[in-house]
Amino acid sequence: MKFRENAAIISVVLLMLPIPAFAQTASQGGFDGVYKGVSNQMSAGQTGQMCRNPQPTPVPPDLVITNGNAQSRVLGGMQGTVNGQGVLSLRTSAMPAPVLGQIDAQGTARAQLSGFYCVYRIVWQKQR
């Protein structure tokens, strides 16, 4: 019984802690815009064997971000979000693994999809 009481007290204390503002909201448009494709590279995945998928187009389709929602036609189409720190989290129907990335202060978006056989590295640059 002591464990349940302690767990309840810890839960209440954690709920009372302040949450930083950046953790509460998604991007308010700071990363919105059109990002032109720069490069799209494929390499061997976790197996170490070269991926058998066809080589991707060397320049990926645009990445478009509106109100923190991101989408691109690369790798059969992907969509997801970007948070206030520029962290990209995308999904594609072509593969179950998430596409994770980061947008830096210069407007360069880099994302990676790591699968069992293939790793894709995609780069876009924000148009000004």
Enumerate the β-bridge partners of residue 119: 43, 114
Task: Please give the model's pTM, rounded to 2 decimal places.
Answer: 0.74
27-41 pLDDT, tens per residue? 457 999 999 999 999
Q: Is residue 15 part of a domain?
A: no
Q: Would you state the pLDDT for residue 32?
A: 97
Q: Is residue 43 part of a domain?
A: yes
Query: Which residues 6+ apart lie within 8 Å of 92 measured at CB?
Result: 75, 76, 77, 78, 99, 113
Whether residue 75 is predicted with pLDDT greater than 90 in this model: the reply is no
Token code pair at residue 101 = 């990335």
Domain count, the chain: 1
Q: Is residue 54 part of a domain?
A: yes
Q: Is residue 11 part of a domain?
A: no
Q: Would you state the pLDDT for residue 47?
A: 79
Q: Are 37 and 59 contacting, i.e. CB atoms less than 8 angstroms apart?
A: yes
Q: Are 95 and 122 contacting, i.e. CB atoms less than 8 angstroms apart?
A: no
Q: Is residue 37 part of a domain?
A: yes
76-102 pLDDT, tens per residue? 899 999 999 999 999 998 788 899 999
